[in-house]
C-alpha cells in the first residue's frame, strides 16, 4: 500500500503565509484532499480535487500539486487555523483503498 509523508510540525506568524506539504507516489496519479482537525473534534475537509473548497471554507485555504507532492497553502493565517492538518488520496493499490498522511501540527504564533 502507498504512504503519504508530512512534516510533523510547522509554525507561522499571524497573518503570514504557510505551506504544508504531502509527499507520496499515489499523488502522481490522484489529487490529495486536505483535512483540518482541532482538538476534540472530527476532521473537516478543507481542500479536495485540483483546488476546490467545500462550502464554508475560507478562501485563504488553497491547494496545489506537482509530481509526487501536494501542498496546502494558508494565505494570511489566522489564530483559528491552528490545528492538525492531514492529507489523503486514493491508494494506488486498490479501487477503494485510501491512505492518509501522518499529519502536520500547525502552530500560529
**Which positions touch another protein (CB under 8 A)?**
1, 30-31, 33, 35, 37, 42-45, 48-49, 54, 84, 86, 88-91, 94-103
For residues 83, 53, 28 and 20, what is the CA-based torsion angle, rounded to 10 degrees? -30
- Helix spans in 2-105 (H): none
Smallest gap from Cβ 76 to another protein, in A, equals: 25
Q: Given the complex with another protein, which of 42 and 79 has the nearer CB atom?
A: 42
Smallest gap from Cβ 1 to another protein, in A, equals: 6
- Helix spans in 3-107 (H): none
Amino acid at each position: 500500500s502507498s504512504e503519504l509523508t508530512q512534516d510533523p510540525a510547522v509554525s507561522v506568524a499571524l497573518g503570514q503565509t504557510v505551506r504544508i506539504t504531502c509527499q507520496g507516489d499515489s499523488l502522481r496519479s490522484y489529487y490529495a484532499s486536505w483535512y483540518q482537525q482541532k482538538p476534540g473534534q472530527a476532521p473537516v475537509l478543507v481542500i479536495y480535487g485540483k483546488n476546490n473548497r467545500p462550502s464554508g471554507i475560507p478562501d485563504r485555504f488553497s491547494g496545489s500539486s506537482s509530481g509526487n507532492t501536494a501542498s496546502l497553502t494558508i494565505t494570511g493565517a489566522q489564530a483559528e487555523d491552528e490545528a492538525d492538518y492531514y492529507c489523503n488520496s486514493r491508494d494506488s493499490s486498490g479501487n477503494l483503498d485510501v491512505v492518509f498522511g501522518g499529519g502536520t501540527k500547525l502552530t500560529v504564533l
